[in-house]
Amino acid sequence: MLLHVHPENPQARQIKTIVEHLQKGGIIIYPTDTIYGLGCDIFQHKAIERICRIKNVDPQKAQLSFICHDLSDLSTYTKQISTPVYRMLKQYLPGPYTFILPASKEVPKILKSKKDTIGLRVPDNEIARTIIRELGHPILSASLPGEMVEEYTDPELMHDNFHKLVDLVVDGGIGGMIPSTIVDCTDDEPVVIRQGLGEWVG
């Protein structure tokens, strides 16, 4: 199913449809401020397993991120972070960054990496943030499988390629081709482990 959603004023009816799919354990392809991603509800284990099968990865080794509406989710899903780290997150988010942080007990076990960390994102994208706000908690996000980045900018092409694997493709217009910048905040000094769209001043 391909669902057109207005990028600046997402229609309430369309958002409701997307949220209902997520609550029932559905998998969506949806826009962010970087590239389109695969998403599901973080509390739907079977959906997480489906995403990992699509990606052909072990859940605990997969590069899965939590997409949050804003920084209020930090205290729930991450362990206590220092004031400088919080200030830094506030400076860069919403934006095209993924921050690796220590995971709290609230993170479903299936999602914790062996290092007990999670990737956290707050994209500067109205559709993604509206979905999360209406769902009431973060969604899990992963990149689409394969290397065909050009095809991952066009929702109709993504629908053609993945409609048998996912329940819904959210069409929010043409997507980007550069992923987020990943910053590891688990040590004293933040370390950029992937330079993506986000400029990093550090």
pLDDT in tens, 148-187: 667 789 999 999 999 999 999 999 999 999 999 999 999 8
pLDDT confidence band for 145 (50 / 70 / 90):
confident
Task: Tell me whether residue 92 is in a domain.
Answer: yes
Asked if residues 6 and 25 have their Cβ atoms less than 8 Å apart, the reply is: no
Number of domains in the chain: 1
pLDDT confidence band for 111 (50 / 70 / 90):
confident
pLDDT confidence band for 202 (50 / 70 / 90):
low
Q: Is pLDDT at 121 greater than 90 in this prediction?
A: yes
Tokens 């979905």 belong to: 131
User: Mean pLDDT score of the chain, rounded to an integer?
Assistant: 91
Domain of residue 50 covers: 2-194
Task: Tell me whether residue 106 is in a domain.
Answer: yes
Global pTM?
0.93
Q: Is pLDDT at 107 greater than 90 in this prediction?
A: no
Task: Tell me whether residue 153 is in a domain.
Answer: yes
CA distance 101 to 186: 6
Task: Tell me whether residue 200 is in a domain.
Answer: no
pLDDT score of 81: 87
Phi, psi of 9 (to 5 degrees): -125, 75
Task: Tell me whether residue 201 is in a domain.
Answer: no
CATH of the domain at 98: 3.90.870.10
pLDDT confidence band for 57 (50 / 70 / 90):
confident
What is the average pLDDT across 143-152? 79
Task: Tell me whether residue 167 is in a domain.
Answer: yes
Structure tokens at 52: 């990992």
- Identify the bridge partners of residue 35 per DSSP, sorted by sequence position: none
Task: Tell me whether residue 118 is in a domain.
Answer: yes
Task: Tell me whether residue 104 is in a domain.
Answer: yes
Handedness of CA 145, 92, 196, 110 (dihedral sign): negative
Higher pLDDT, 191 or 60: 191
pLDDT score of 114: 67
pLDDT score of 146: 78
Higher pLDDT, 100 or 112: 100
Q: Is pLDDT at 113 greater than 70 in this prediction?
A: no
